[in-house]
Structure 1
Amino acid sequence: MRRYHDRVKPVLATAPRRFEALDSLRGICAVLVVMFHMPVASHWRDWGLVQHGYLFVDYFFVLSGFVIAHAYAGRLTTPREAGRFMVRRLGRVWPLHALMLAAFIGLELARLFFQIDGATPFVRDRSVEAIFANLLLVQAWHVLPSLTWNGPAWTLSAEVACYLIFAGLVLVAPRRFRWIGAVLALIGAVLVLAYARRWMNTTYDFAVPRAVYGFFLGCLLQGVWTRIPRLGGSAATALEVAAVVAICVFIGWATGPVTVAVTLIFVAVVWVFAGEEGALSRVLDHPALVTLGRWSFAIYMVHMFVLTVLMIVARKLDWVPGGRRIDFGSVWINDLFAVALFGLILVLALVAHRLVETPAQRLIDRWTARPKVAH
């Protein structure tokens, strides 16, 4: 029998910057968030894993903190570098965000001029003043009374706050920023637990504490993961299976204050899969899943617009007998419709990824490239 230490593999400090398995998991989480929002009376609609699918967003925060710290912790040595970091991060999220905001505004103009449904245009969560908060990506900083416009974009607003805090901490305390961030993470968790009305199902009000909680635990994990031995072979596979089962069981079951613990489980998930040692990691490394991960941001950003337009059409065609979910009278037909709907979202996400997200990222990367030193 092999000894335990023979099955433990040291983590090299020169680990690759692209964590393919973690990226694939991000794509899967994005799909589950879409399923959570999808208003179709399918077989899976009432599963706990889907009903509590909003919790998969917290994986995004933990992963973001982990990869941002991995890529930038040693690079933000001057205010100029910190500024370049912020421009690059905004350049990765703002263009597609602005496009989808414009799409929602266009839908509102259609309401105004063509009365496409009975909703009063440019009021409440679709107010004119909220447009400016969304353009500045501050809509989740407790400045508005509700989610507004493209609702899922609240996560971008919360992440921007994390980027600002991260850049400031790395500049001021480069050797201790992770531990300071861990204190901020604890404060964020306490604020959510004590004051958020629906605990981790908080968005526009306690979104920043929620995001800080996950993001800076991700940063802390990145700082220590190279020092934590990990298992290889069948033991790594068992650990990966246990991590997936744990997160699925927890999200399927958790409600109320206990949901705050989901971030801790996602920290464990990121640690387990960052090493890519087990059989599940090899599955997640499949090109189709890696591609899904790369499209995940576009999927996340476009899906609510598609669902909003769908519900306008569905109500006109009497597809919503109960007023909340599309139901054709057969759950199997509902399932097929839901799959087709996701296919449409995927196609539109691919178009957005190729025509907006990727070109914008390349442009920003060129603008912010470090000047070449003459020899």
Structure 2
Amino acid sequence: MFHMPIASHWRDWPLIQHGYLFVDYFFVLSGFVIAHAYAERLKTARDAGRFMVRRLGRVWPLHVLMLACFVGLELCRLWFHFDTASPFTRDRSVEAIFTNLLLIQAWHIHPYLTWNGPSWTLSAEVACYLIFAALVLVAPKRFRWIGAVLAVIGGLMVVEFAKRWMNTTYDFAVPRAVYGFFLGCLLQGLWTRIPRLKAGAATALEVATVVMCCLFVAWAEGPVTVLVTLVFIGVVWVFAGEEGKVSRLLDLPVLVTFGRWSFAIYMVHMFVLTVMLIMARKLHWMPNGRRIDFGSVWLNDLFAIAVFAGIVGLAVLAHHLVERPAQRLIDRWTKPKPAAA
């Protein structure tokens, strides 16, 4: 909804306008989960190599599929001249294809987002994986505290150098990701030692946490946005225990299924929106030049819901035809061989 250029009722809600901050929830949660799953399992360089192959296998196939879709769209632009944009220029340059294939496009290489814009998060996440694997190998008992130091440095770099603070992507994406990821790793090492509430008190805390989180995201602007990572640390701590009724609500099959599709939704949506914008300009659906507007906000809402449904439909196909088969293949490749008797 943050990316969708449709003049809907919710388009100007502060929570939607600041929706980019929820990427930092992903970084915190990712650090927590990766530390939980791998902190005790990376003993050798071979373990670290297997870890990187598995993590890349989780994100790279779908990333390459969508990159191919964008390149295909650009070839159509070159051959059929369906708009005035110059093919393979700026954020759609040929050299950016290779940085995207290597998932280094957000390592302060380009002066803007390139190709499938949201994939900058994958690039930053891969950098975190590399740092995580190196720290666990070199200092397995202290990697969380070393990572915490790196997190503080990353946060300070965002405050000091990022022009738009936490709304930084292609330039200071890696410091931003390191800030959240390694605080998530630190939380994972501490959360079992911190007492948690039970029953009704846990439910009240979960509800209060969701409300306060949404209020903060809706309110935060400027340098204060850097504090959102600390807010998300609290959110992950509250929900990791799964003690309240909100946690049980999140276990509903429909929400679990959407969670399973969420990466595919994230990866395909910008391509759908890009094609939609090309069509909208041709059909004069953008009277102000910035957003699709049919003259009725309610009609705009219905169109936005239909676009979202279409995105989900394509995401489900991508999930079942590309994402899951690639995961199974990578799992077979990296499965440790049983030791000889």
TM-score when normalising by structure 2: 0.99
How many Å separate the matches in 1 of 2:210 and 2:166? Answer: 20
How many Å separate the matches in 1 of 2:89 and 2:54? Answer: 33
2:264 is aligned to 298
Q: Which amino acid aligns with 2:214?
A: C
1:317 is aligned to 283
- The offset of 1:116, in angstroms, is 1.7
2:75 is aligned to 109
Q: Which amino acid aligns with 2:275?
A: V
- The offset of 1:123, in angstroms, is 0.2
How many Å separate the matches in 2 of 1:187 and 1:293? Answer: 32
How many Å separate the matches in 1 of 2:212 and 2:151? Answer: 22
Q: Which amino acid aligns with 2:290?
A: R
How many Å separate the matches in 2 of 1:223 and 1:331? Answer: 48
How many Å separate the matches in 1 of 2:334 and 2:136? Answer: 19
Match of 1:281 among 238, 247, 250: 247
Match of 1:150 among 110, 116, 141: 116
Deviation digits for residues 197-245 of structure 1 (CA, Å, limit 9, x no counterpart):
0000000000000000000000001001111110011100111011101
1:352 is aligned to 318
1:163 is aligned to 129
- How do 1:151-230 and structure 2 match up within 5 A? 151-230=117-196
1:65 is aligned to 31
Deviation digits for residues 3-53 of structure 1 (CA, Å, limit 9, x no counterpart):
xxxxxxxxxxxxxxxxxxxxxxxxxxxxxxxx0000000000000000010
Deviation digits for residues 225-281 of structure 1 (CA, Å, limit 9, x no counterpart):
111110011100111011101110011111100000111111110110111110111
1:256 is aligned to 222
How many Å separate the matches in 2 of 1:250 and 1:292? Answer: 25
How many Å separate the matches in 2 of 1:267 and 1:290? Answer: 22
How many Å separate the matches in 2 of 1:249 and 1:363? Answer: 42
How many Å separate the matches in 2 of 1:59 and 1:293? Answer: 14
How many Å separate the matches in 2 of 1:171 and 1:236? Answer: 37
1:333 pairs with 2:299: yes
Deviation digits for residues 67-107 of structure 1 (CA, Å, limit 9, x no counterpart):
00000000000000000000000000000000000000000
How many Å separate the matches in 1 of 2:188 and 2:259? Answer: 20
How many Å separate the matches in 2 of 1:253 and 1:227? Answer: 32
Deviation digits for residues 134-177 of structure 1 (CA, Å, limit 9, x no counterpart):
00000000011110000000000000000000000000000000
2:334 is aligned to 368
How many Å separate the matches in 2 of 1:126 and 1:44? Answer: 30
Runs of 4+ in 1 over 4 A off after TM superposition: none
Deviation digits for residues 339-374 of structure 1 (CA, Å, limit 9, x no counterpart):
000000000000000000010011001000000123
How many Å separate the matches in 1 of 2:81 and 2:219? Answer: 42
How many Å separate the matches in 2 of 1:293 and 1:267? Answer: 20
How many Å separate the matches in 1 of 2:231 and 2:204? Answer: 16
1:92 is aligned to 58
Match of 1:40, SS state, is: coil
Structure 2 unaligned segments of length 5 or more: list them: none
TM-score when normalising by structure 1: 0.90
- The offset of 1:118, in angstroms, is 1.3
Deviation digits for residues 116-139 of structure 1 (CA, Å, limit 9, x no counterpart):
211110000000011100000000
2:89 is aligned to 123
Match of 1:174, SS state, is: coil
Match of 2:263, SS state, is: helix
1:78 pairs with 2:44: yes
CA RMSD of aligned residues (A): 0.5
Q: Which amino acid aligns with 1:351?
A: L
Match of 2:319, SS state, is: helix
> Which is bigger in relative contact order (C-alpha 8 A, separation at least 6)?
1
1:52 is aligned to 18
Q: Which amino acid aligns with 2:227?
A: A
User: Kindly, what percent of the aligned residue pairs are identical?
Assistant: 77
Structure 1 unaligned segments of length 5 or more: list them: 1-34
